[in-house]
């Protein structure tokens, strides 16, 4: 991600084929007809849980009321007044909110406003997010390296294996006495990071954390889930099987001689728009960095406690992970300012980060939670560590969410009042933004950055932690609004998740989706979303429709700046689509 590809192949999409997935309810959406134009009424295009807040965005006009009708009929089941008009500078429009939270009877409905086309149909029911949650996890399977995707698991998206990574060269930037430049090592498994075919430890950090956090917070939702991956039916839940595919790769990225961790495994340059098995450039591990070591240390400490109950199935794995975490921490302590510097002969994604104070705090927090050793809490320097919405380069919020998750069982050294304050203060700030937003979402104009869809979902993840800790309903409703944004309540009227919604991306910047000859993109991926910098503008044959932050989006494979996919963006979709199911009270409560 965050790159200019070498070249684009012409868009050659064939008619959609049926998806023979017996294990997931995504086949109809993934092979749907060409999406319709953006709807005038913007709302979550999948639907709502009966007890959830329910809101649609209506363009300002003559109407002052709305009705909810049974889909495709004139049968009115609820009506109400539209809220006063409000200006949205990020999208350049004036809109009114239609709130219909009282609608709790399961069924299929539409919002009707005089003078406008009816909204896209949406469902109300207890299972509205099950399919998108399953698909958002299975997207990781579709991005696995080193394994063929067989038809029985992948349906029409079957493909040969790509990048076995059993013969990876040590780049000169990563050379050491025990492993001089040109040394061949094996580093298989893992996920392709984004629309490209490389693997990056720093981005794997927040990604794998978020998947494991979903498991720690909502295990009941995942224990019986069958994703139809090769490991389905074994002794581990599928979510943990999928995360383990990446964790096992991460373990190979640690130098056993000193505990340092390579920053990335990559080609020297990006591949073209070809399938993985056609991408055959030599592969390298590049430079050890402090950021990589600390991301690795944090995730391995967390994974060691998550997988500890499965000792019988994976003897020694939890202990191995914890030992690897501590070794990486020690390397980082000895090398506290080794920042990534792109070698002259490498042009793939950097994930450079020259402030690793947050990574030190996060890694120490995870080691504290896992070991109970008060020395790790001291190393975290909690009073100086603030909480913020997480991103790959800003992970201090992950530390506070882990502490909040385990606060009832923490060593007495932990300041539980400070933990609660950090989460509540951040959640309150996000809820305040939600209340003042014309679209009724936590997203503010400055939040439309690269990967804005993930900003919305990471905000929602924080808010769900705030709700779990305080039971403040505003936090839950604001989190729901963040998910609604990702699924259609936005200025471009699109569900940003491939294969889901009346209108969803058809041409994500994702090499397999563009090179496989199938009209439908691989389902379950959330694209980056609007952002006004438009770094790919010179590379795209189609223009952006607007420079306004909330409208700066184009559904074309050229648009790596607004339409790429990435593992760290999908992970909070997994978390939030699970969390709203687990935490939303029954209707009327």
Per-residue pLDDT tens over the stretch 46-61: 999 999 999 999 999 9
State yes or no: is 3 an active-site residue.
no
Sequence-distant (6+) residues with CB within 8 A of 117 are 39, 40, 41
Average pLDDT, the chain: 93
For 152-195, write each residue's pLDDT tens digit.
999 999 999 999 999 999 999 999 999 999 999 999 999 999 99
pLDDT bin (cut points 50, 70, 90) of residue 36 is low
List the chain domain ranges.
Answer: 42-124, 164-218+226-377+392-402
pLDDT bin (cut points 50, 70, 90) of residue 247 is very high
Task: Give residue 587's pLDDT.
Answer: 87
Question: Is pLDDT at 256 greater than 90 in this prediction?
Answer: yes
Task: Give residue 485's pLDDT.
Answer: 98
Would you say the C-alpha torsion 273, 276, 279, 284 has a positive or negative sign?
positive
For 553-570, write each residue's pLDDT tens digit.
999 999 999 999 999 999
Helix (H, G, I), strand (E, B) or coil at 191: strand
Spatial distance between the Cα atoms of 125 and 222, rounded to a whole number of angstroms: 19
Question: Is pLDDT at 320 greater than 50 in this prediction?
Answer: yes
Would you say the C-alpha torsion 39, 41, 42, 46 has a positive or negative sign?
negative
Active-site residue, from 366, 536, 555, 556: 555
User: What is the SS3 assignment for 303-323?
Assistant: HHHHHHHHCCCCCCHHHHHHH
Nearest to 82, CA basis, from 70, 93, 68, 71? 68
Spatial distance between the Cα atoms of 451 and 560, rounded to a whole number of angstroms: 10
Spatial distance between the Cα atoms of 451 and 21, rounded to a whole number of angstroms: 29
Structure tokens, 420: 């609660």
State yes or no: is 255 an active-site residue.
no
Active-site residue, from 406, 465, 507, 509: 509
Task: Give residue 589's pLDDT.
Answer: 73
Question: Is pLDDT at 421 greater than 60 in this prediction?
Answer: yes
pLDDT bin (cut points 50, 70, 90) of residue 11 is very low
Quick one: how far is CA 306 from the chain centroid?
Answer: 20
Which helix H or strand E contains 486, and what residues bound it?
A: helix 473-486
Spatial distance between the Cα atoms of 309 and 317, rounded to a whole number of angstroms: 11
What is the arithmetic mean of pLDDT over 283-310? Answer: 98
Task: Give residue 38's pLDDT.
Answer: 79
For 101-122, write each residue's pLDDT tens digit.
999 999 999 999 999 999 999 9
Q: Do residues 375 and 362 make contact, with C-beta atoms less than 8 angstroms apart?
A: no
- How do beta strands 122-124 and 47-48 pair? parallel
Task: Give residue 71's pLDDT.
Answer: 98
CA torsion 375-378-380-381 (nearest 10°) is -170
Helix (H, G, I), strand (E, B) or coil at 242: helix
Question: Is pLDDT at 473 greater than 70 in this prediction?
Answer: yes
Q: Do residues 449 and 478 make contact, with C-beta atoms less than 8 angstroms apart?
A: no
Residues 42-124: name the CATH superfamily: Immunoglobulins (2.60.40.10)
Class of domain 164-218+226-377+392-402: mainly alpha
State yes or no: is 350 an active-site residue.
no
Active-site residue, from 196, 258, 424, 564: 564
Question: Is pLDDT at 22 greater than 50 in this prediction?
Answer: no
Percent of the chain clearing pLDDT 90 (strictly above): 93
């Amino acid at each position: 991600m965050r790159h200019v590809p070498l070249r684009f192949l012409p868009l050659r999409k064939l008619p959609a084929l049926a998806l023979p997935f017996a294990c997931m309810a995504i086949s109809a959406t993934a092979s749907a007809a060409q999406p319709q134009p953006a709807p005038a009424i913007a709302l979550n295009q999948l639907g709502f849980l009966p007890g959830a807040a329910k809101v649609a965005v209506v363009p300002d006009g003559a109407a002052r009321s709305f009705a909810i009708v049974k889909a495709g009929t004139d049968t009115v089941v609820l009506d109400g007044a539209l809220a006063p008009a409000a200006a949205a500078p990020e999208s350049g429009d004036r809109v009114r909110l239609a709130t219909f939270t009282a609608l709790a009877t399961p069924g299929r409905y539409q919002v009707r406003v005089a003078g406008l086309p009816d909204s896209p149909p949406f469902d109300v029911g207890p299972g509205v997010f099950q399919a998108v949650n399953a698909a958002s996890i299975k997207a990781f399977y579709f991005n696995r390296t080193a394994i063929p995707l067989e038809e029985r698991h992948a349906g029409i998206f079957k493909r040969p294996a790509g990048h076995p990574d059993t013969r990876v060269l040590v780049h000169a930037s990563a050379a050491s006495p025990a492993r001089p430049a040109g040394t061949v090592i094996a580093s298989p498994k893992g996920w392709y990071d984004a629309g490209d075919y490389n693997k990056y430890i720093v981005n794997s950090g927040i990604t794998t954390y978020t998947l494991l956090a979903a498991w720690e917070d909502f295990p009941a939702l995942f224990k019986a889930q069958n994703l139809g991956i090769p490991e389905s039916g074994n002794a581990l839940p599928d979510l943990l099987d999928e995360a383990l595919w990446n964790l096992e790769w991460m373990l190979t990225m640690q130098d056993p001689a000193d505990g340092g961790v390579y920053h990335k495994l990559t080609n020297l340059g990006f591949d073209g728009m070809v399938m993985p098995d056609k991408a055959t450039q030599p592969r390298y591990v590049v430079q050890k960095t402090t950021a990589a070591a600390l991301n690795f240390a944090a995730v391995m400490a967390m994974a060691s406690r998550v997988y500890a109950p499965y000792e019988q199935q994976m003897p020694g794995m939890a202990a191995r992970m914890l030992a690897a975490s501590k070794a990486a921490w020690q390397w980082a302590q000895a090398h506290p300012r080794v920042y990534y510097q792109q070698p002259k002969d490498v042009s793939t994604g950097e994930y450079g980060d020259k402030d690793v104070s947050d990574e030190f705090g996060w890694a120490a927090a995870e080691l504290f939670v896992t070991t109970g050793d008060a020395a790790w809490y001291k190393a975290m320097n909690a009073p100086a560590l603030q909480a913020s919405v997480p991103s790959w380069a800003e992970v201090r919020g992950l530390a506070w969410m882990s502490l909040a998750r385990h606060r009832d069982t923490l060593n007495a050294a932990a300041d539980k009042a400070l933990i609660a304050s950090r989460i509540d203060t951040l959640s309150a700030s996000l809820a305040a933004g939600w209340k003042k937003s014309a679209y009724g979402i936590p997203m503010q104009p400055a939040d439309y950055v690269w990967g804005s869809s993930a900003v919305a979902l990471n905000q929602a993840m924080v808010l769900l932690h705030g709700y779990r800790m305080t039971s403040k309903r505003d936090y839950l409703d604001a989190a729901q609004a963040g998910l609604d944004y990702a699924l259609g309540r936005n200025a471009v009227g699109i569900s940003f998740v491939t294969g889901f919604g009346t209108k969803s991306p058809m041409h994500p910047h994702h090499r397999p989706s563009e090179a496989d000859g199938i009209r439908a993109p691989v389902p379950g991926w959330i694209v980056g979303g609007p952002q006004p910098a438009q770094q790919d503008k010179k590379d795209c044959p189609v223009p952006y429709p607007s420079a306004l932050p909330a409208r700066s989006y184009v559904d074309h494979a050229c648009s790596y700046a607004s339409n790429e996919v990435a593992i760290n963006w999908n992970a909070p979709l997994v978390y939030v689509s699970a969390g709203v199911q687990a935490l939303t009270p029954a209707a009327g409560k």
